[in-house]
Structures are given as structure tokens and as C-alpha cells.
Amino acid sequence: GIQVEQSPPDLILQEGANSTLRCNFSDSVNNLQWFHQNPWGQLINLFYIPSGTKQNGRLSATTVATERYSLLYISSSQTTDSGVYFCAVDRSYGQNFVFGPGTRLSVLP
Amino acid sequence: DVKVTQSSRYLVKRTGEKVFLECVQDMDHENMFWYRQDPGLGLRLIYFSYDVKMKEKGDIPEGYSVSREKKERFSLILESASTNQTSMYLCASRRYYGAVLPNEQFFGPGTRLTVL
């Protein structure tokens, strides 16, 4: 099956810093999503981005499908950005996503 | 606003009990999923359903069953709970194969189950 890797596994930042999270996948995909899991366990949808670039406030994402990777950019980080960021991909509509192992982000005040 | 709800945020059960976890979505989605999340193991798919009364095994179905009698509701059943089923359980839903894009998956808030 498709493999999903994320890097770095852990990241500690000072408030206000910028960061880039990476997701690599082993095969072509039809769908890719980025999620943020908050400290209470809820998975929040950040981006649906099988290709191209999107921006939402301080967050943006880019997926280069031909090279099988996606990047999540967080600018001017805030303590509320802390949590685990997951990348998830699937190869066919209607089937389940395969999740990466996540990047744990800690933003210090 | 899209919404997936789960019946309990926290649940404590005893070994051998039958446990029901319920998930309801209000987006008229065809597909619904149950995952469990454990430290170091990530999110793993237990079962999914692509239509009423239809179900497919995921990666770790052993010890679980599911029920989907109505389109909006998907239940996960632990027939005889065991301590190794202590975990975070997450329900999700999305549109069917071939639906108009974007075909995002949306998650409920999760249920932290402890089996003593």
C-alpha cells in the first residue's frame, strides 16, 4: 500500500517563528489533506490540496503531485498552533485516507 | 457548518462489557469511517461503510463490529471489551467515490475509551 512519511517528527518553536512541515508519499494520489489535531484530540481540517498551492491566513500549503510531496507552512506561529499535524492521502475516491505519523509542534510563549 | 458528532467524549468500561460507540453526521455523506489512534501507532482504520447496511473491514477489524442502519449514523461495537482496546476512537465521513471535488474527510471530536 501507499506509504506516507512526515518530517520532522517533532518541532519546538518560539512564538512568532515560521516553520515548514513536509509530507512525502510513495505513489500518485487523488486526494491529500492536512489536519491539525488539537490538545483535546479533535482533528481540524486545514487544507484539501491534491495539487497546487492554497493559503488560509497564516497557513499555506503546496503539493507537488509529480514529485510526491506536500509542504505546510506556518508563519508567525502562535501558542494555539501547538498540536500534531497530520498529512493524509488516498488513491481512489470513496476509500479511506492513509495517514502519516504526524509532526508534533510545540510553540513556546 | 459541517458536523460529525460522537456519543461520548470519555467512556470507562470493564473487561467483557459490550460497548457501543455512536457517530452521527449531518452532511448527507455516503461514506463513514471508524479509526483508532494510539501513541506511536498513528491512526488506523477499523471499519468503513460506503452505504446503508454496507461495511468493509479496515486494517484492524478484529474484536470490533459495526452497524449502519441509517445513512447518518455509524456505530462501532466492541462485543466483549478488552484492556487492549483502550484507545482514542475517531469517526469520520466523506462523500462517495466520484463526488464533486473537494471530497474532504471530516472528523468527529473523538471518544477516549478506557477498559479496566
Instruction: Name the residue in chain B with its Cα closest to that of A48.
Output: B104
According to the model, what pLDDT value does residue A93 have? Answer: 54
- CB-CB: which of B58, B99, B104 is closest to A33? B104
Cα–Cα distance between B48 and B60 in angstroms, integer? 11
Cα–Cα distance between A31 and A48 in angstroms, integer? 7
The three grid cell numbers given for residue B76, joined into one nine-digit string: 462501532
The three grid cell numbers given for residue B27, joined into one nine-digit string: 452532511
CB B13 within 8 A of CB B112: no
Q: With 90 as the cut, is the pLDDT of residue A40 above it?
A: no
From the first residue on, what is the mean pLDDT of each consecutive set of 10 residues in chain B (116 residues)?
A: 89 97 95 93 91 92 97 97 97 82 88 97
- CB-CB: which of A94, A97, A99 is closest to B97? A94
Beta strands, E only, chain B: 4-6, 10-13, 19-25, 31-38, 42-49, 56-57, 65-70, 73-78, 87-94, 106-107, 111-115
Q: With 60 as the cut, is the pLDDT of residue A15 above it?
A: yes
According to the model, what pLDDT value does residue A95 have? Answer: 64
Cβ–Cβ of A96/B58 closer than 8 Å?
yes
Cβ–Cβ of A31/B103 closer than 8 Å?
yes
Q: Which residues fall within 8 angstroms of residue B85, CB to CB, at 6 or more apart?
A: B63, B78, B113, B115
According to the model, what pLDDT value does residue B10 have? Answer: 96
**Dihedral of the alpha carbons of B23, B26, B32, B38, in degrees to the nearest 10:** -50
Q: Which percentage of chain A shows pLDDT scores above 90?
A: 81
In angstroms, the separation between the Cα of residue A100 and the nearest Cα of chain B is 8
pLDDT digits (tens, 9 = 90+) for A65-96: 999 999 999 999 999 999 999 999 986 655 67
Helices (H), chain B: none
According to the model, what pLDDT value does residue A92 have? Answer: 64
